[in-house]
Amino acid sequence: MELHARAATAAEPPTDTPRLRVPRYVRLLSPILRFLLGTRLPLGPNRLVIIRGRKSGRLRPTPLAILRVDGRRFLWAPWGEVDWVRNLRAAGRATIVEGRGREEVTARELDADERDAFFRDVLAPYARGLPFGFLFVRIVDGVDLRHPSEMAVDRRVFELQPA
């Protein structure tokens, strides 16, 4: 019995790290976005990103916003370790569907210091440059860009390069 109790607690996330939860509206909107992007309808920075599943090996189309800044492209996960993050980490590559074209890309996950710099030097200025962008990121994504170092702790960021 003691061994079972120890195993159960080892699988739980550390209590000092807040758990990020995907809001219900994201789960409701994702299939709609997936459908619209699949019809090639342009929706701002959102693209259909196809990532191979780490367990099944199946191709998983996921609607994601690709942030383009100074010739670089980034994907970031406002809700931390979600399935597409684990799949992209395992696969190391993805396919971006944009309009009628497809592009194969490799993905490199940013480390803690790079994530901190991303939130401070890339995402915050980008959001400030959009009408209501700073507010949008705060309300919709749950990210307070006034505290980039805190936001970088649990969120994951990938830089995309042509394959």
Q: What is the pLDDT of residues 134-143, one digit of tens each?
A: 677 777 777 7
**Does 112 score more than 70 pLDDT?**
yes
Q: Where are the domains of the chain?
A: 22-162
- Contact criterion met (CB below 8 Å) for 127 and 139: no
HSE of 115, CA atoms in CB hemisphere, 13 A: 21
Q: What is the pLDDT at residue 16?
A: 44
- The CATH code of domain 22-162 reads 2.30.110.10
**Does 65 score more than 80 pLDDT?**
yes
- Kindly tell me the burial class for residue 103, based on how many C-beta atoms sit within 10 Å of its own C-beta (0-12, 13-18, 19 or more): middle
Q: What is the pLDDT at residue 21?
A: 75
Instruction: Return the ∠ at Cα 12 (arms to 24 and 19), rounded to 5°.
Output: 35
Q: Reduce the DSSP state of residue 45 to 3 states and report it.
A: coil
Maximum C-alpha span of the chain:
57
**Does 10 score more than 70 pLDDT?**
no
Mean pLDDT on 104-121: 94
